[in-house]
Amino acid sequence: MIEIPAGPVSSEAGRWKPKTAETVARRVVQTIVSGGLTAGDKLPREAEMVEHCGVGRETLREALRLLETQGLITLRRGPGGGPVVASADAVNLGRISTLYYQMTGATTSSWSRPGPWPRVCWPSAPHAIPTPRCVRG
């Protein structure tokens, strides 16, 4: 059986307090990574996840929708359905990143302009999942 880790997930440097659904989504990702799950592996049933995480069904469903929107899981409907690990695809990262670029007004020319900082700063670790750390206006 796959278990979702209990306990809080820290926010980056304590600068913001994530929504409960985001915290649950991070726990699910931790479970996928630490459990060595791959595309097609099923996650626990909703009732098990609700009980283990100590959250309501709506919060869990919001967390799963966040992960589905980012292409990290798929939600299969009907009997035998439920959350299933999806393959990590750079297309999904690009699709989500586009929203950040649109919000900051970034263009392809803004990436080539001279200056010490790009419009969006990315982590330097090659294994890190690229998530924006800072945005300059």
Contact 63, 19 (CB under 8 A): no
CB atoms within 10 A of CB 90: 10
Mean pLDDT of 59-75: 95
Mean pLDDT of 16-45: 92
Contact 137, 104 (CB under 8 A): yes
CB atoms within 10 A of CB 98: 11
Using the predicted structure, report yes or no on whether residue 66 has a pLDDT greater than 90. Answer: yes
Residues 6+ apart with CB under 8 A from 15: none
Can you give the pTM of this predicted structure?
0.66
What's the pLDDT at 131? 46
Mean pLDDT of 67-83: 92
State the alpha helices, DSSP H only, in 9-80: 20-34, 46-53, 57-69
Sign of CA dihedral 78, 83, 86, 92: positive
CA–CA dist 102, 100 (Å, integer): 5
So what's the architecture of 12-85 in CATH?
A: Orthogonal Bundle (1.10)
What's the pLDDT at 63? 97
Question: Domain limits of the chain?
Answer: 12-85, 90-135
Q: Which residue has the higher pLDDT, 64 or 112?
A: 64
Mean pLDDT of 55-81: 94
What's the pLDDT at 5? 60
What's the pLDDT at 43? 95
